[in-house]
């Protein structure tokens, strides 16, 4: 055994900034997501970090890489198979069913916390990692699709240093009839190449052929170049819905570009209709450049034993986004509810609410007040330490000033100092002096 204990491979410590870590950025990503969840009407909830293995194998699909290769599954002393959660959606769907939440639809739910996948560790992608997760259950409208993708875009705009280089990749898997027609066409195309496909794709050809579109194998990718395209098999209803979503999103100023990507199917079996990813074209992300992903999963809850419930959501890895973000702080939101009548044009409502949210968010700036005490050492050393720890101002209490009932407030950026009465030393007074 090594004398020097280290984190388990694929895990890492998230340290404070002054010790070479990125916890401040990590915290900022999570808190920005939490603030936007409030702004968009999402309620926070938490599920256990492990579930019965069936929760994930049934929902995510036996053919998915996560289920077949990447889950941390173990047997309890009672002989029950349980799995550390590899993603949020399945656990939230289970919680929705087991807690009888159907009666409360529609529901907007936000979650954050650690997830676990056994895959090759790489930059921004670990075996234990953290995500922020948004789910909207009970609304099957195209307007819900727009709001969720708009929220995702606003989130990236808020925390990312490279928002101008993020591209929204979007596709539709269509309605049931569209998927059936496309599945048949794809199987017909791929069958002559069956022996040339990768082992994973050979298995998927029989079980879930659409997943072959997600293959990273070079041989598979070469074959797929001439594969039929999903958009050519959409029903009129599915095509009209997809066009509405894309047309509205193209109006939003914070999307650098939108790319309709026919090969985008996402890596889990439960996705239906709209699927999307935000892909960074620059930034220090290592081999993987997808920073946020999601889609619609209208059949999942019914598949898991609940009543038919439409749903859409997305998730983003906190560690990956921490590689992109600067150090910003955001404010809390007001609580506003907009209730449109059925006769009102949905685009008018979306424009109105989008404007309200933009106005609120652009004015939501807050300062996190912290007060610490450094008791010992030379004044110069303590000032150096305060600066290193990110202090913006220092209150110096010396015997000479105390004789007159005064203290010194020092601005660490400008180095300016001023004396104030100790009786007037309050948070409100400090905010006034600091210009907060």
Helices 142-159 and 236-249, packing angle to 10 deg? 30
Given this model, what pLDDT does residue 100 score? 94
pLDDT number for residue 400? 80
Could you name the CATH architecture of 17-175+235-362? Answer: 2-Layer Sandwich (3.30)
pLDDT of residue 370: 62
pLDDT above 70 for 15: yes
User: Higher confidence at residue 427 or residue 323?
Assistant: 323
pLDDT at 202 over 60: yes
Helix axes 346-362, 142-159, angle to 10 degrees: 20
Q: Mean pLDDT across the stretch 349-365?
A: 61
Q: What is the pLDDT of residue 333?
A: 31
pLDDT tens for 149-171 read 999 999 998 887 555 567 899 99
Q: What is the distance between the terminal CA atoms of the chain, rounded to a whole angstrom?
A: 54
Residue 402 CB neighbours (<10 A)? 11
What confidence tier does 97 reach under pLDDT thresholds 50, 70, 90? very high
User: Quick one: 379-434 is in which CATH superfamily?
Assistant: Anticodon-binding domain (3.40.50.800)
Predicted local confidence at residue 330, as pLDDT: 43
With 90 as the cut, is the pLDDT of residue 275 above it?
yes
pLDDT for the residue numbered 365: 45
Check whether 223 has a pLDDT greater than 80: yes
More confident residue, 275 or 397: 275
pLDDT surpasses 70 at 111: yes
- In this predicted structure, the answer to whether residue 205 has a pLDDT above a threshold of 70 is yes
What percentage of the chain has pLDDT greater than the value 90? 31
What is the pLDDT at residue 401? 77
**Segment 139-153 mean pLDDT:** 93
CB 317 within 8 A of CB 124: yes
SS3 of 238-296: the string is: HHHHHHHHHHHHCCCCCCCEEEECCCCCCCCCCCEEEEEEEEECCCCCCCCCEEEEEEE
The more confident residue out of 358 and 299 is 299
| CATH 3.30.930.10 residue ranges for the chain | 17-175+235-362
Instruction: Identify the residue with better confidence: 368 or 38.
Output: 38
**What's the CA gap between 37 and 43, in Å, rounded?**
7
**What's the mean per-residue pLDDT of the chain?**
81
Per residue in 37-67, pLDDT (tens digit) is 988 989 999 999 999 998 888 766 555 555 6
Q: Helix 23-39 to helix 346-362 angle, to the nearest 10 degrees?
A: 140
Write down the pLDDT at residue 165.
66
Question: Which one has a higher pLDDT value, 278 or 200?
Answer: 278
Residues 6 or more apart in contact with residue 433 via CB below 8 angstroms: 393, 409, 418, 420
pLDDT at 243: 94
Our CA angle for 260, 265, 270, nearest 5°, is 135
Question: Looking at residues 221-237, what average pLDDT do you find?
Answer: 89
Nearest-angstrom CA–CA distance, 373 and 376: 9
List, for residues 298-351, the tens digit of each pLDDT value: 989 998 899 999 999 999 999 989 888 765 444 433 345 666 656 667 886 677
Pinpoint the residues of the chain covered by CATH 3.40.50.800.
379-434
pTM of the model: 0.76
CA distances from 175 to 66, 238, 263, 304 (A): 25, 6, 17, 20
CA distances from 30 to 23, 78, 94, 105, 336 (A): 11, 36, 24, 26, 22
- What average pLDDT does the segment 362-383 reach? 66
Q: Name the residue among 98, 145, 93 with its Cα closest to residue 309.
A: 93
Quick count: other Cβ atoms within 10 Å of Cβ 18? 12
pLDDT tier, 366 (very low <50, low <70, confident <90, very high otherwise): very low
């Amino acid at each position: 055994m090594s004398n020097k204990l280290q984190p388990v491979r694929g895990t890492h410590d998230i340290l404070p900034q002054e010790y070479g870590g990125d916890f401040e950025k990590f915290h900022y990503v999570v808190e920005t997501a939490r603030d936007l969840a409030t702004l968009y009407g999402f309620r926070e909830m938490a599920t256990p970090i492990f579930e019965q293995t069936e929760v994930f194998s049934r929902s995510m699909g036996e053919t998915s890489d996560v289920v077949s290769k990447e889950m941390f599954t173990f047997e309890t002393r009672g002989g029950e198979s349980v799995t550390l959660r590899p993603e949020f959606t399945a656990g939230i769907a289970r919680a929705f069913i087991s807690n009888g939440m159907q009666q409360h639809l529609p529901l907007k739910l936000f979650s954050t916390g650690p997830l676990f996948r056994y895959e090759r560790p790489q930059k921004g992608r670990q075996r234990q990692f953290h995500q922020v997760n948004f789910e909207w259950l009970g609304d099957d409208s195209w307007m819900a699709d727009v709001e969720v993708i708009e929220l995702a875009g606003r989130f990236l705009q808020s925390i990312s240093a490279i928002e101008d280089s993020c591209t929204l990749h979007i596709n539709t898997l269509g309605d049931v009839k569209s998927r059936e027609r496309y599945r048949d066409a794809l199987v017909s195309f791929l069958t002559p190449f069956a022996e040339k496909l990768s082992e994973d794709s050979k298995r998927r050809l029989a079980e879930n052929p659409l997943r072959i579109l997600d293959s990273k194998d070079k041989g598979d990718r070469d074959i797929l170049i001439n594969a039929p395209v999903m958009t050519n098999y959409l029903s009129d209803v599915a095509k009209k819905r997809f066009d509405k979503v894309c047309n509205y999103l193209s109006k939003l100023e914070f999307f650098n570009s939108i790319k309709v990507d026919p090969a985008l199917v996402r890596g889990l079996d439960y996705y239906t209709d709209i699927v999307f990813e935000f892909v960074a074209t620059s930034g220090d992300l290592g081999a993987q450049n997808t920073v946020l992903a999601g889609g619609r999963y209208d059949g999942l809850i019914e598949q898991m034993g609940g009543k038919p419930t439409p749903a859409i959501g997305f998730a983003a890895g906190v560690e990956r986004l921490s590689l992109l973000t600067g150090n910003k702080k955001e404010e809390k939101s007001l609580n506003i509810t907009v209730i449109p009548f059925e006769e009102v044009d949905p685009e008018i409502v979306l424009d109105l609410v989008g404007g309200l949210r933009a106005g609120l968010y652009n004015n939501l700036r807050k300062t996190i007040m912290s007060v610490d005490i450094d008791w010992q050492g030379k004044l110069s050393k303590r000032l150096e330490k305060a600066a290193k720890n990110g202090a913006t101002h220092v209150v110096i209490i010396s015997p000479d000033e105390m004789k007159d009932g005064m203290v010194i407030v020092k601005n660490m950026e400008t180095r300016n100092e001023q004396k104030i009465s100790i009786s007037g030393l309050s948070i409100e007074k400090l905010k006034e002096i600091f210009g907060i």
